[in-house]
């Protein structure tokens, strides 16, 4: 009689345990699935950020080319103005000469003399020649004025476009900085289930930013007549993980910054020492990126060198970057090729001592080697 309730109680406990086991097992599978999805989304975001940094560098390259184009136009404008001043001086000189000839007594006497027909003809021809020369110069002056007007219009258009592009670039950089911080916070959070919506929004924002940059680059390069952006270089989920071998990517390592190479490897510097790397002069606030996949060995201040970054690419290869104004990575962090690691100093009108130069050194098993032998011949530095 007493076995009935006891049996029911035991069956209930077994059922409860079985239910808890099934619930726990299914929850673990669901949680694991969420972790996998979030990890993939984070990887996609990192690739999109890398693509975004590449777009920013392309943006900066177009700005540099735009400035060079403006400088060429301004030189043409100066030359035209000098030419116009010369023409105006000649025009004034011709007028004065004609007036002198017409008012000189010898001219009237030559016409009055019947025996001086040859001299008279020569004088008349001289007047006709000077008159035609004056008309020709006036016509040339008018054409030069039209060309100058068109050039000034081009300069104004280029400057307006340049300012708009700068504003877009600043907005894009601010948004990327916010998104990068958000991504870092999300990567440290263990609550994977609640991250899904935030990650989707973050990825959507990143892609929107990249579309904005592409449109801005296209609008700026159309005027210069050369499109610097190639859509086949766009990073997608299918090719977001490049080869991990630094050695096998020779000579396709990317330049960490855009600019002009002002010091080569193995040359004597100003104090007579042999350079162990290359130096690139950049624009203010230029983005600095990882030249290849790797791990940050050191990021911070180092003695008198200022802010430096050392990246270990594996296989004994390390990159040293000196001269940054800001560092955006931490020691121990993994980075992808093209991922932002820092920025150059911003423009400061009152501080003429700021030197916008990035020193790049490549070492193999601790010994400096020529970076130019490894960097891509299709330069992303101009």
Domain residue ranges in the chain: 16-224, 243-373
Cα 266 vs. chain centroid, distance in angstroms? 28
Q: What is the pLDDT of residues 236-259, one digit of tens each?
A: 333 333 446 899 888 889 999 999
Instruction: Given CATH 2.70.70.10, say whether it is the number of domain 243-373.
Output: yes
* Concatenated DSSP letters of 201-244: HHHHHHHHHHHHHHHHHHHHHHHHT-----GGG---TTS-S---
CATH number of 16-224: 1.10.287.2610
- Residue 349 has a pLDDT of 72
Full-prediction pTM beyond 0.95?
no
Query: At residue 339, does pLDDT exceed 80?
Result: yes
**Region 280-293: what's the mean pLDDT?**
92
Query: At residue 331, does pLDDT exceed 70?
Result: yes
Contact status, residue 144 vs residue 41, Cβ threshold 8 Å: no
Query: At residue 381, does pLDDT exceed 50?
Result: no
Return the percent helix, strand and coil in the chain, to nearest 5.
60, 15, 25
Query: At residue 208, does pLDDT exceed 60?
Result: yes
Q: Is the peptide bond between 251 and the residue preceding it cis, with omega within 30 degrees of 0? A: yes
CA 308-209-283 angle, 5° bins: 40
- Residue 236 has a pLDDT of 36
Helix (H, G, I), strand (E, B), or coil: what is residue 360?
Answer: strand
**Region 308-337: what's the mean pLDDT?**
92
Instruction: Give the separation between CA 216 and CA 213, rounded to whole angstroms.
Output: 5
Q: What is the pLDDT of residues 65-92, one digit of tens each?
A: 666 766 777 777 777 777 767 766 766 7
Mean pLDDT score across all residues of the chain: 69
Tell how many helices (H) and how many strands (E) occur in the chain. 4, 11
Contact status, residue 291 vs residue 319, Cβ threshold 8 Å: yes
Which stretch, 30-34, 52-56, 169-173, 285-289, has highest mean pLDDT?
Answer: 285-289
- Residue 79 has a pLDDT of 74
> Strand pairing of 357-364 and 278-281?
antiparallel
- Residue 288 has a pLDDT of 95
Q: What is the pLDDT of residues 6-25, one digit of tens each?
A: 444 555 555 555 555 454 44
> Strand pairing of 294-301 and 317-324?
unpaired
């Amino acid at each position: 009689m007493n076995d009935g309730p006891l049996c029911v109680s035991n069956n209930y406990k077994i059922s409860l345990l079985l239910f808890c086991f099934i619930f726990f097992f299914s929850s673990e599978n669901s949680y694991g699935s969420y972790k996998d999805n979030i990890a993939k989304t984070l990887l996609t975001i990192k690739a999109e950020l890398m693509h975004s940094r590449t777009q920013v560098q392309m943006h900066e390259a177009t700005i540099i080319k735009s400035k060079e184009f403006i400088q060429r136009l301004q030189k043409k404008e100066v030359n035209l103005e000098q030419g116009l001043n010369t023409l105006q001086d000649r025009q004034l000189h011709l007028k004065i000469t004609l007036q002198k000839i017409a008012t000189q007594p010898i001219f009237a006497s030559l016409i009055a003399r019947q025996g001086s027909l040859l001299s008279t003809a020569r004088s008349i021809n001289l007047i006709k020649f000077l008159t035609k020369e004056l008309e020709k110069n006036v016509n040339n002056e008018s054409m030069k004025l039209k060309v100058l007007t068109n050039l000034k219009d081009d300069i104004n258009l280029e400057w307006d476009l340049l300012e708009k592009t700068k504003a877009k670039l600043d907005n894009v950089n601010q948004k990327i900085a916010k998104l990068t911080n958000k991504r870092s916070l999300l990567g440290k959070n263990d609550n994977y289930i609640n991250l899904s919506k935030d990650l989707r929004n973050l990825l959507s924002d990143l892609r929107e930013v990249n579309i904005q940059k592409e449109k801005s680059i296209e609008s700026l390069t159309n005027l210069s007549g050369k499109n610097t952006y190639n859509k086949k270089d766009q990073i997608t989920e299918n090719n977001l993980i490049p080869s991990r071998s630094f050695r096998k990517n020779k000579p396709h390592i990317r330049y960490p910054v855009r600019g002009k190479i002002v010091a080569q490897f193995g040359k004597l510097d100003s104090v007579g020492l042999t350079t162990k790397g290359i130096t690139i002069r950049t624009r203010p606030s230029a983005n600095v990126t990882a030249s290849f996949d790797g791990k940050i060995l050191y990021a911070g201040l180092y003695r008198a060198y200022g802010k430096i970054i050392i990246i270990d690419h594996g296989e004994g290869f390390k990159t040293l970057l000196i001269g940054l104004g800001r560092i955006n990575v931490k020691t121990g962090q993994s980075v992808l090729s093209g991922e932002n690691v820092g920025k150059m100093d911003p423009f400061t009108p009152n501080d003429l001592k700021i030197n916008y130069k990035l020193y790049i050194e490549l070492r193999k098993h601790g010994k400096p080697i020529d970076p130019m032998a490894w960097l891509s011949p299709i330069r992303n530095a101009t």
